[in-house]
Amino acid sequence: MSYFNVRVYGLLINANQQILISDEEEYGFRFSKFPGGGLEIGEGLTDGLKREFMEECNAEIEVLSHFYTTDFYEKSSFNDSQVISVYYLVKEKAPLQLAFKTQIYDFDAEGEILQAFRWVSISELDVNAITFKTDKTVAELLKKALK
């Protein structure tokens, strides 16, 4: 059975033109992406994004504007669904209280589900270090927008 998997992500850029990247590991599969995740039934896009930032970053955000929506086919890396991702520019309502890392996959704990956050300069953002196809597209668009 095929179905759609709607996901929503926040592009949080700081004053130094760095973007927040989430490095994650789930059951041995490592990936780097923008903060966010799957929409829940009955939830709007911006409400889902605010929930995801609370869950992942323990942070309230303000959604500023739409940036990009998937305009090509992408199969999920985790199941048989078609992924549709929506990206918004966001800003934090208060400074993030996270232990920021400088190296990819620098997790503080062990277990089956891990997450760490890094600030990466948009001008130095390596598109190949981003895992998923739609996130790579967004990274390229960000780099072009800030030239």
CB atoms within 10 A of CB 101: 16
pLDDT 10s digits, 53-83: 999 999 999 999 999 999 999 998 888 899 9
Confidence of residue 108 (pLDDT cuts 50, 70, 90): very high
Predicted model pTM: 0.94
Q: What is the pLDDT of residue 79?
A: 86
**Share of residues in the chain with pLDDT > 70 (%):** 98
Q: Is the pLDDT of residue 48 over 70?
A: yes
> Mean pLDDT, the chain, as a whole number?
94
pLDDT 10s digits, 125-141: 999 999 999 999 999 99
Sort strands 82-92 and 4-12 into parallel, antiparallel or unpaired. parallel
Buried b (16+ CB within 10 A) or exposed e, 28-54: eeeebbbbbbebeeeeebbebbbbbbe
Q: Could you tell me how many residues make up the chain?
A: 147
pLDDT 10s digits, 117-127: 999 999 999 99
Of the chain, the end-to-end C-alpha distance in Å amounts to 43
Q: What is the pLDDT of residue 2?
A: 66
In this structure, are residues 47 and 124 in contact, taking their beta carbons and an 8 Å threshold? Answer: no
The closest of 104, 76, 57 to 6, measured between CA atoms, is 76
